[in-house]
Amino acid sequence: MEPIKIDDAQGLINQFARQDVYIHLETTNGAYAAHFNEGFFNAGAYIRNAKVNYEHGKIIGDGPFRVGLKIELGWIYAEGLTHYEMDEHGRLLMAGHGADGKLAVALEISPTPFN
Res 45 pLDDT > 90: no
Give dist(CA 13, CA 6) in Å, integer: 10
5-8, long-range: CB within 8 Å, 24+ apart, which pairs? 6/59, 6/61, 6/65
H or E element in which residue 79 lies = strand 74-81
Res 69 pLDDT > 60: yes
List of domains in the chain: 1-24+45-59+70-115 (2.70.180.10)
Longest dimension (CA), the chain: 43
- Kindly indicate the confidence band of residue 32, based on its pLDDT and cuts at 50, 70 and 90: very low
Side chain identity, residue 50 = A
106-115 per-position pLDDT tens digit: 999 999 999 9
